[in-house]
Structure 1
Amino acid sequence: MSRSIDLIADLGEGYGAWTMTEDDALTRIVSSANVACGFHAGDPSTIRESVALCVERGVAVGAHPSFPDLRGFGRRRIELPPSDIEADVLYQLGALEAFLRPHGHRLHHVLPHGSLGNMTVVREDYARAVARAVHAFDPRLTVVYQEGWMIRAAEEEGLPVARVGFPDRAYNEDGTLVRRALPGALVEDPHEVAERAVRMAVDGTVTTASGTTLGLACDSLLVHGDGPSAVSTASTVRQRLESAGVEVAAWSGR
């Protein structure tokens, strides 16, 4: 069955002289980007450069809001009042869109980063806080995440949603991601990642860490941009998707 999928990478994940993502190469491959908004990575100059590359190459720009955790790269679990999460996300959306406005563009989507994203799957209070912030900023914005409270809260706020698959991450039986600290949490071989991506896009399934097959509806696929093989992986995934008859294009609410 031929279909379309949004191929996303995380971009702008640097701070000053420190850089983790190869934005120049990745913007030649993906259809959309999650750009760090300053809380887990991304100083103003880095954000501006990442946005400019995306605009130049026709890559849709989404926000990648995080817990305020530069030191932990947004991957530490943080307990915050939902009102603080709402304010933090709203702040980050405004910061990123400020760099899009000079180009005459607006944000395409929001995909929570790291531990914040993981917690919105299982925490109703965190998910609703993120959804309220997105709705307050722009009710046309698409919320991108996996099934769970984040998708449910966004839908109840009347926001467009797109479900995402993570072909380079291992899944638990309940559809959540295996914690990064555990063995096998990351799928690092580009060809294995590409094979998983095709199954997600075409069959709507993923093999869990325990070897069972899990149904997985997805409109987009995220390849993490901070690994050493990120460019090779993204390129291999795109080639395999297109070979399987899958069009790679930014999500438009199809």
Structure 2
Amino acid sequence: MENRIHINCDLGEGGQFDEELMPLISACNIACGGHAGNLETMHRTVRMAMENNVEIGAHPSYPDRKNFGRNHLEMSEKDLKLSIEGQVLSLKQIAESEGGKMNHIKLHGALYNDAAKDENIARMIIECLEDLDENFLLYVPLKSKISELAMGKFDLFFEAFADRNYNENHSLVSRSEKHALITEKEEVFNHVFSMYNDKKIITYSGVEIDGKADTFCVHSDTPSSVEIIDFLHKKFAEKRIGVKNT
């Protein structure tokens, strides 16, 4: 198959399906101690990714394990930069110690959302990553502040979410809303195929917005995540579209 779709998944977060998900995806974003994860889980997840030819990425967050990194955390610029730097370098060093290489960085949770809409936080993150002086690919949300500020400074992968509903301003529907998640596999496929094939997101309100993306995320803690990604494989294969790296 010549056409490929790129699917990523957040792993190493303590979920029970990591081993089943890893062979089905193109890239993994590994929790590196902020919202979840420790040295043992990072080593294990890196090894699993290498065994399955899956791209390895760091998944830094606010250092807030209590709330799984899903709440905004007030931090000084210095402390935020030190936290992100520590998380990213920890995963990088572990990947290299296992004979692998870190490919990309994707922010997690509230930090991801804050960087999408808050220019000051986006600037701090970009400055921090620039100071690392590494040529990492950066996953960024569509129509976001961080994508605007990072353009020309990093190679960017625009990300869309397979299992989340969108608002008309390209933000994700809040997890506090009952319709935030898309959990039916047929609905997930239709959502992803619209973005992949037509470059359009159908928002929860039914409005079409621009949706061109390089990679599509399925969350490992979404109910039936393994079934969903397996279904995506089958439906895309019917259209002669493969999943990269699988």
TM-score class, shorter:
over 0.9
- Tell whether the 8 Å contact from 2:61 to 2:69 is kept in structure 1 after alignment: yes
- Tell whether the 8 Å contact from 1:10 to 1:21 is kept in structure 2 after alignment: no
* 2:151 equivalent among 151, 155, 174: 155
CA positional deviation for 1:133: 2.1
CA positional deviation for 1:3: 4.0
Report Cα offsets for 1:191-248 as digits up to 9, x if no partner: 2112211111111111111111111110000000112311111211232233333332
CA positional deviation for 1:86: 1.8
Report Cα offsets for 1:91-110 as digits up to 9, x if no partner: 11111112111233221111
Q: Which amino acid aligns with 2:11?
A: L
2:188 aligned counterpart, secondary structure: helix
Is 128-137 or 181-190 further displaced after alignment?
128-137
CA distance in structure 1 between the aligned counterparts of 2:244 and 2:131, rounded to whole angstroms: 27
CA RMSD between the two structures: 1.5
| Identity across matched positions, percent | 29
2:158 aligned counterpart, secondary structure: strand
CA positional deviation for 1:118: 0.6
1:196 aligned counterpart, secondary structure: helix
Q: Which amino acid aligns with 2:198?
A: D
Moved over 3 A (4+): none
> For structure 1, which runs of at least 5 residues remain unmatched after alignment?
15-19
Which residue number in structure 2 is paired with residue 17 of structure 1? Answer: none
Instruction: State the TM-score, normalizing by the size of structure 1.
Output: 0.91
> For structure 2, which runs of at least 5 residues remain unmatched after alignment?
none
CA distance in structure 2 between the aligned counterparts of 1:32 and 1:120, rounded to whole angstroms: 21
* 2:66 equivalent among 62, 71, 76: 71
CA distance in structure 2 between the aligned counterparts of 1:228 and 1:23, rounded to whole angstroms: 13
Which residue number in structure 2 is paired with residue 106 of structure 1? Answer: 101
Note closer, same or farther for the CA distance 1:69–1:192 as it changes in structure 2 (3 Å cut).
same
CA positional deviation for 1:172: 0.5
1:172 aligned counterpart, secondary structure: coil
Note closer, same or farther for the CA distance 1:182–1:101 as it changes in structure 2 (3 Å cut).
same
- Tell whether the 8 Å contact from 2:55 to 2:103 is kept in structure 1 after alignment: yes
Note closer, same or farther for the CA distance 1:101–1:234 as it changes in structure 2 (3 Å cut).
same
Which residue number in structure 2 is paired with residue 12 of structure 1? Answer: 12
Q: How many residues align?
A: 243
2:67 aligned counterpart, secondary structure: coil
Which residue number in structure 2 is paired with residue 61 of structure 1? Answer: 56
Q: Is 1:224 aligned with 2:224?
A: no
